[in-house]
Amino acid sequence: MKTFLTVLVCLTLARVVLAQSNLSAPSAPAAGATSSVAPDAPVITVLGLCDKTAGNTAAADCKTVITRAEFEKLMNAIQPNLPDAAKRQLANGYVQGLFLAEKAHEAGLDRGPDFDEKLALMRLRLVATLGQGQVHKEAANVTDAEVETYYHDHISDYKTISYERLNVPKQKKVDPATEKANDPDLQKKREAAQAEMKAEADKLRARAAAGEDFSKLQQEAYDFGGYTQMKASNPRVDKVRKGSILPADASIFELKPGDVSQVFADPGGFAIYKVEAVEDLPVASVRDEISRVLASERENKWKQSLENSTKLDDAYFTPPVAMPTPAPPTLRNPGETAPTPAPASPTPAPGKK
């Protein structure tokens, strides 16, 4: 029992030391592969540290000796191919672990029900870590046939489109000096200005569908909004995947070359797209990406299955707190209070206008 505790303590402490070192050196060849030190030669000697119960009470006999082979066995259990720069830190952490384990043993801390429970939990964590690695390994075993099936089932995710994009500002440019934060009609004015820009975006969209030049239309959009200092740049964007498009605009991947999209109300303005080209990515170029997706889905599936088959008593465990629904977007400035709504007109009595 004591030996197992010592190993767990040493492994845990050694891992902490290595994590704190934050070493980023590249992996080296297997430890000792080119060492001139013999496998049975001592590489760590700690004087004054020994198992007192074994009768090693004499000062000359009380020592702990660790050979190269023993140290490398420990090292490979923690991190195979450990960089040379980390070996000394691991050795120091291991010696500290041995010393602290012996102190705990002398104080009788490695005996009793509490210790047995902690030991069981430490073993569970270690075994669970190994099990997690096995689950990850099994989930990552994805076949070419599975990749092909997923590719064809999600072909829209593996297309690229080239398009021209027209961005129409949502608000006309206003001189801040003319805007008063306490203006009771400020919100209505902003809403009216946005409606005006939306109407202009609809007109520009119709002209784009009729074949007018996007650069010309973009400049007109800036000028109409009062952003005369802004100059239209090349509106074309090449080979974009679905994940790079705002989710609200992703329907453009259903369009054909030459099609012009609807007007999208994006956070940065009203957007209009004209699709120029659509291409399928070769399955070979996305195989690794699909393999990772399938592996992640498998791991999430067993987690969800375990969660569904587990029931926790809400009378004992606090139920999860529902996240609040985010407030709807507003045209008000941060900190600005909502305008007081006008009183509703009284409903006329039947028969009266």
Residues 84 and 164 in one domain: no
Residues 104 and 172 in one domain: no
Residue 1 has pLDDT above 80, yes or no: no
Give the CA distances from residue 40 to residues 73, 75, 80, 263, in Å, rounded to whole numbers and listed in that order: 12, 16, 20, 76
Report which of 196, 216, 174, 198 is spatially closest to residue 266, judged by C-alpha positions: 198
Number of domains composing the chain: 2
Is 208 inside any structural domain?
A: yes
How far, in Å, CA of 8 to CA of 2, rounded? 10
Q: Are 269 and 169 in contact (CB under 8 A)?
A: yes
**What sign for the dihedral angle of Cα 174, 180, 185, 190?**
positive
Residues 162 and 273 in one domain: yes
Q: Where are the beta strands (DSSP E) in the chain?
A: 42-47, 63-67, 159-168, 236-241, 264-266, 269-280
244-290 pLDDT, tens digit per residue, is: 999 999 999 999 999 999 999 999 899 999 999 999 999 999 999 99
How far, in Å, CA of 77 to CA of 31, rounded? 12
The per-residue pLDDT of the chain, averaged, comes to 83
Is 243 inside any structural domain?
A: yes
Assigned token pair, 190 = 């902003």
Residues 113 and 156 in one domain: no
User: Which residue among 284, 312, 331 closes a domain?
Assistant: 284
Percentage with pLDDT > 90 across the chain: 55
User: Which residue among 262, 284, 306 closes a domain?
Assistant: 284
Displacement of CA 39 from its chain's centroid (Å): 44
How far, in Å, CA of 204 to CA of 341, rounded? 34
More confident call, 5 vs 54: 54
Residues 22 and 130 in one domain: yes
How far, in Å, CA of 320 to CA of 307, rounded? 14
How far, in Å, CA of 304 to CA of 31, rounded? 40
What does the DSSP assignment read for 226-242? T-TT------EEEEEEG
pLDDT of res. 182 = 75
User: Which residue range(s) make up the domain with 225?
Assistant: 149-176+185-284
How far, in Å, CA of 280 to CA of 154, rounded? 11
Is 12 inside any structural domain?
A: yes
Poorest-pLDDT segment among 14-23, 60-69, 180-189: 14-23
Listed in sequence order, the residues at least 6 apart from 125 whose beta carbon sits closer than 8 Å to its beta carbon are none
pLDDT of res. 9 = 52
Is 303 inside any structural domain?
A: no
Rounded to an integer, the average pLDDT of 303-314 is 92
pLDDT of res. 27 = 45
Residues 157 and 279 in one domain: yes
Poorest-pLDDT segment among 39-53, 102-116, 166-180, 295-309: 166-180
CATH number of the domain where residue 206 is located: 3.10.50.40
Is 334 inside any structural domain?
A: no
How far, in Å, CA of 317 to CA of 195, rounded? 50
Rounded to an integer, the average pLDDT of 198-221 is 95
Residues 189 and 237 in one domain: yes
How far, in Å, CA of 196 to CA of 203, rounded? 11
User: Which residue among 238, 258, 284 closes a domain?
Assistant: 284
Is 247 inside any structural domain?
A: yes
Assigned token pair, 165 = 């994009």
104-152 pLDDT, tens digit per residue, is: 888 899 889 999 999 999 999 989 999 999 999 999 999 999 999 999 9
More confident call, 336 vs 130: 130
Is 350 inside any structural domain?
A: no
Is 107 inside any structural domain?
A: yes
pLDDT of res. 190 = 84
